Amino acid sequence: MGHHGYFHDKIDDKRENCFHKECDNVECCKCCKCPPGPQGPQGTQGPQGLVTSVIYLASDVSIGNADFFGLGVSNPASTARNSVVVPLTSSIGGLVFSTRDNGLATGATASAQVFKSTDCGANFTGTGIIAIVTGPSCCGVSTNTATADQCDLLTVQVTTPSGVLSRGAAATIILNTP
């Protein structure tokens, strides 16, 4: 080793010349034109990304407190008739809910919760994914998550303590599929 702890060869002589007292910064080191080291090994492949899809739900008729809706409304009290099927096992990644132009008063609320059936519509259970709209806004978002298996049925229940949504509502369920 040399007097500065370097192995003495042509490359180290260039490095040593670059870093003496009058030239001790990175810009100066560029004068060395030191060759790059060998390329390292390729890393492991990262995880596959999620595919995000959406299920659109809407109603063009009045929706009252505790009513359900899906792809239109045949009977707002019927969960099974207002449900849609999950195409692939997924994570429900959230819910966006709009009261449209129903004009909620300032501070009044309306909420929507995703309900799921695992038994062909015989029973539905709330998922805890609840989007809340607070007037005068018309839109609420939930980023809570829940799992849904292929062939589960989903519907949305509306809670409107301040009255009926006379002009219907719209919701989008976000699904993330591995």
Please indicate, yes or no, whether residues 104 and 133 belong to a single structural domain of this protein.
yes
pLDDT (0 to 100) of residue 98: 97
Least confident of 16-25, 99-108, 121-130, 134-143: 16-25
Q: Are 155 and 83 in contact (CB under 8 A)?
A: yes
Q: Is 87 within a domain?
A: yes
pLDDT (0 to 100) of residue 107: 93
Q: Is 42 within a domain?
A: no
The CA distance from 125 to 60, in Å, is 25
Residue 23 — very low, low, confident or very high, per pLDDT cuts 50/70/90?
A: very low
The CA distance from 163 to 172, in Å, is 22
Q: Is 32 within a domain?
A: yes
Least confident of 93-97, 107-111, 161-165: 161-165
- 116 alpha-carbon distance from chain centroid: 19
pLDDT (0 to 100) of residue 129: 98
Please indicate, yes or no, whether residues 21 and 61 belong to a single structural domain of this protein.
no
The CA distance from 168 to 130, in Å, is 18
The CA distance from 129 to 152, in Å, is 16
CATH number at residue 171: 2.60.120.670
Q: Is 145 within a domain?
A: yes
What DSSP assignment string belongs to 101-140? TS-PPTT-EEEEEEEEESSTTS--EEEEEEEEEETT--EE
The CA distance from 164 to 86, in Å, is 29
Q: Is 96 within a domain?
A: yes
pLDDT (0 to 100) of residue 103: 85
Give this prediction's pTM. 0.72
The CA distance from 83 to 124, in Å, is 10
pLDDT above 70 coverage of the chain, percent: 78
Domain containing 20 equals 1-37
Please indicate, yes or no, whether residues 130 and 91 belong to a single structural domain of this protein.
yes
pLDDT (0 to 100) of residue 21: 46
Looking at the structure of the chain, the number of domains it has is 2
